[in-house]
Structure 1
Amino acid sequence: MTAAPERQVSESKGLGDGRVGLLGAVVIGISTIAPAYTLTGALGPTASAVGEHLPAIFLVGFVPMLLVALGYRALNSAMPDAGTTFTWSSRAFGPWIGWMGGWGLLAATVLVLSNLAGIAVDFFYLMLSQVTGRDSIADLSTNVVVNVATCLVFMALACWISYRGLEATKVVQYVLVAFQVVVLLWFAIAAFVHVVDGSAPAGLAIDPEWFNPLGVGSFSAFATGISLSVFIYWGWDVVLTMNEETSGARSTPGRAALATIAAIVVLYLTIALAVLSFSGTGSDGLGLGNADIQENIFAALAGPVMGPVAVLMSLSVLASSAASLQSTFISPARTMLAMGHYGALPPAYARVSRTFQSPGYATIVSAVVASAFYAAMRVVSEDVLWDTISALGMMVCFYYGVTALACVWYFRGSWAGDVKAFLSRCLAPLVGGVLLLVFFVQTAVDSMDPDYGSGSQVFGIGLVFLLGVGVLALGVVVMFFQYRARPGFFRGETIVRGRSSSADLEGEVQS
């Protein structure tokens, strides 16, 4: 056991205690995953990689999420800390890997914030077009200046709500999450009705082969599908970053994470089967293989499936992306708060609003960085949504994988003679973490090809690779700058490496 350095800092960060219960945490978790937004952006790219094996990939992608979530739950039970990946990896592997784990989470959230804003803009103008009956309004989203300006407005509003703390966040999310789930189920039922009455373009019966992951053509296609599948589940870990503000901090967040993932996989399989049955995977018309509709599936299918009430789908995706845009701020803000608190970033990031007991400074920084990133990406890539989704899958595989292995290493030896502890602290996170890191490496290699993703490239290198691996490389550079500026954290003076007391294990057992 490592002795605590003299300069170890207190873990209390000034956040409000007991602001969220189990139901509120699950609602915020679903909101961050944003099923309506996620599916409209991911169904097309995933189908282009694995074809009719969408359900199989969704199920296989669910497995490492579940295994990793068990590791998250064990770590949270031992040391509930808003820094999650950053703090836990630092305690397990030391400050250098911990810092990069935190950077991976921050990079992923910046990517998804930009993507959320882009989807929100597209559906905002599509909704206005449908309401007014003027098709030209929908084309405003393709105007770069209008698109970026609208995105900045959405980002500012989401930042303002998040700045006001979890109480404001929770109230907004109850309404928006319920609305999008109801509309998605309505869409699925309507699609199946079309299949039954023979009016669907493809009209396919559900085939057991759709659930066979071995039917995917190659390992590269499989890894690409899994990377994208990981993206659609991403966001459940937000319930862990709220642990210091949740009632029952050691147990409630872990339970909320598992409940969130279980609810989402059922919803996703329902929608995937409905869309496959209705559209098929052809490359023409409404087929999922049609490149013209892959970036925004619901925009193309809502009208044919839902008829005159298709505007509800536009409202649903808009509500989904806007809600997730707001709730997604929770993770990067609290991660930067923890990094500032422990001296891994400048002290300004550790500021907490006295009025709202939220990480105000870090929330604003998250909004500014995400806004700047989106504006730059919109100029560089015509298919910014597809490229950021592909890169996000890589980022998520990286930091989820690191956190899962941190669980294995942190609790090493503590499961001796305890089958339940061995499964939850060792085997499950080990398998989940290794799988995700393998998918990360495979996708990184494949994405160097300029034709990967949307086909956007810079100097002959695929844009997805530059976004995914390039952002990680940038993290290494920033880390060394922080080491020069504030070496205390990197010397282990603020976070103890290893289990500092038996309370860590006691908390896990009690949960």
Structure 2
Amino acid sequence: MEQGAAHAGDREDLKAKGLSGNTLGLLGGTVIGISTVAPAYSLTVTLGPTVGEAGLRMPGIFLAGFVPILLVAFAYRELNKVLPDCGTSFAWSVKAFGPTTGWMCGWGLLMASIVVLSNLAGVATEFFYLSLGEATGSPDVTELNDNKAVHILTTLAFITAATCVSYRGITVTEWLQSVLVGLQLVVLALFIVMAISTSGEAEGALDFSWYWLDPFGVESFTAFTAGVTLSMFMYWGWDTCLTVNEESIGSERTPGRAALLSIVVIVCTYLLVAVGAQMYAGVGTTGTGLANPDTADNVFAALAYPVMGSGIGVLLFVAVLTSAAASLQTTFLPVARTALAMSTYKALPTMFAAVHPRFRTPSRATVTAAVITGSFYTLMTLVSENVLLDTVFALGLMISFYYGITAFACVWFFRRELRRSPGNLLIKGLLPGLGGLMLTGVFLRTLRDAWEPSYGSGSSVAGIGSVFVIGVGLLLLGAVIMLLMRRHSPEFFRGEVLHRATPPLVIED
């Protein structure tokens, strides 16, 4: 029995959204996936905190965080083959587990995107003034970033610019991202070569050791899970390849291949940068040491000139700026298309189902996401700068939540096909199931550790860690909104719009 024919009935209630079809190929999808991950941005903000948790085992922690992501990628690929819908995790988990679980899974994806958008915008602003200050030779220009009003206004300008590009269509996005992704990968490759080749000249430099790649030597399980949570933040975004499936050439297979290709490129880049940075700078707490608390939130700013020299070191600033700006634009794709799908199936107000007649983009969903992102960032910045760091840790809760549900959705959706062949059992069952279990473990352990104020930035609310308050608070907010939508749109929650799948009876040969 062919897979497509076996699940033909499950696709009957999937609805076209009016997006521009047959636009993105394998290369375009891969570029968008890499861009959303934003390797240069992700590395500069997480190298330091990860070293703080894992020490010399930082490269190993990157590998450990990659494993569940890779396993979940198989789930995404298999589900997309039979249910190519831009709602991805939302639509698939509805099909597997029903409307309530599906709605919360979609909410987790939406909140993860909003949190990432706010952080991306802030980092883009910081590196904008760093780059501008270096170009003009004026410290006063660099210090404009420390002016809270100027910083917030500039951040809102970046959000507005990214919104405009996303609003105008996927073709503009693909062209722009190809240039920006190419730039940051070239600069990172140059950094890797120069860091490794000059490592013997730097204070605190270390010789490479294979035990760096062993994540199980981390001193405590709490440090291990915190490191894995940070690394998952670094990998987040590859699934954007799937949210543009309705706009891809070969919507059933191309997005899945693009996702796998993008995460392979990302993990290779991360490992090489981690090893190169550690060989050059070491893990000391002073100077250029990666564990220096004064530079931990922006490692590349401290390493750019020592590693690459005054002539071309500024390229690293530019790479991080373009990385954050590019990812800011592409991150609007998953949040807008998930909201579009949820609205189309009446899980959210139908106003978000509007598609621009000329650009074929989810116009209202895109603009709404921009307004929420700008408001969230402004509020968080005014409350406390530490809150923004805690949102990075809280993001790990969101990611493990909706990725885990998606992994289990794959196992349950294909449950009657697992005994048909060893390949089905492995790819549709064991690998996604193991990924789901790993992510569940990370989610539960992070909940436990985040309760303590010492987790994350060390801030707290009424004695409870800020990471716990932000992460759990956003999920509870989703539960409240879901209850309101249940009254507003009961037909979705009765399963009348998007039906829960009935697995086909697989007849053994």
Q: What RMSD, in angstroms, separates the aligned Cα atoms of the two structures?
A: 1.7
Letter in 1 for 2:207: A
Q: Is the 8 A contact 1:40 1:297 kept in 2?
A: yes
Separation in 2, partners of 1:3, 1:10: 11
Q: Deviations over 1:287-307 (max 9, x none)?
A: 111111111111111121111
Counterpart in the other structure of 2:363: 360
Counterpart in the other structure of 1:394: 397
Counterpart check, 1:378 vs 2:381: yes
1:283 to 282, 285, 304: 285
Letter in 2 for 1:103: W
Q: What displacement does 1:42 show?
A: 1.0
Q: Is the 8 A contact 2:7 2:82 kept in 1?
A: no
Larger CA deviation: 133-142 vs 422-431: 133-142
Separation in 2, partners of 1:373, 1:131: 31
Separation in 2, partners of 1:379, 1:459: 19
Separation in 2, partners of 1:439, 1:105: 17
Q: Is the 8 A contact 1:42 1:389 kept in 2?
A: no
1:432 to 432, 435, 449: 435
Counterpart in the other structure of 2:3: none
Separation in 2, partners of 1:201, 1:320: 29
C-alpha spacing 1:65/1:245, structure 2 compared with 1 (3 Å): same
Q: Is the 8 A contact 1:194 1:203 kept in 2?
A: no
Structure 1: 5+ residue stretches without partners? 506-511
1:419 to 417, 422, 430: 422
Counterpart check, 1:310 vs 2:342: no
Separation in 2, partners of 1:352, 1:399: 26
Q: Deviations over 1:44-86 (max 9, x none)?
A: 1111111110111111111111110001100000110000011
Counterpart check, 1:92 vs 2:96: yes
Separation in 1, partners of 2:355, 2:214: 49
Counterpart check, 1:497 vs 2:483: no
Q: How does 1:136-285 map to 2 (within 5 A)?
A: 136-195=140-199, 198-285=200-287
Counterpart check, 1:41 vs 2:45: yes
Q: What displacement does 1:187 show?
A: 1.0
Counterpart check, 1:455 vs 2:458: yes
Separation in 2, partners of 1:391, 1:248: 35
Q: Deviations over 1:2-50 (max 9, x none)?
A: 9989xx8551111111110000000010000000001011111111111
Counterpart in the other structure of 1:294: 296
1:336 to 336, 339, 342: 339
Separation in 2, partners of 1:2, 1:73: 15
Q: Is the 8 A contact 1:118 1:385 kept in 2?
A: no
Counterpart in the other structure of 1:15: 19
Separation in 1, partners of 2:117, 2:82: 30
Separation in 2, partners of 1:154, 1:379: 18
Q: Is the 8 A contact 1:99 1:344 kept in 2?
A: yes
C-alpha spacing 1:89/1:364, structure 2 compared with 1 (3 Å): same
Q: Deviations over 1:371-405 (max 9, x none)?
A: 11111111222234422211112211111001000
Separation in 2, partners of 1:31, 1:314: 17
Q: Is the 8 A contact 1:448 1:464 kept in 2?
A: yes
Q: What displacement does 1:136 show?
A: 2.2
Counterpart in the other structure of 1:467: 470
C-alpha spacing 1:2/1:230, structure 2 compared with 1 (3 Å): closer
Q: What displacement does 1:500 show?
A: 7.3
Letter in 2 for 1:167: T
Counterpart check, 1:78 vs 2:97: no
Aligned length: 499
TM-score, reference length from structure 2? 0.95
Separation in 2, partners of 1:227, 1:15: 34
Letter in 1 for 2:165: I
Letter in 2 for 1:106: L
Separation in 2, partners of 1:188, 1:4: 50
SS of the residue 1:413 aligns to: helix
Separation in 1, partners of 2:121, 2:466: 20
Separation in 1, partners of 2:409, 2:29: 24
Separation in 2, partners of 1:4, 1:313: 51
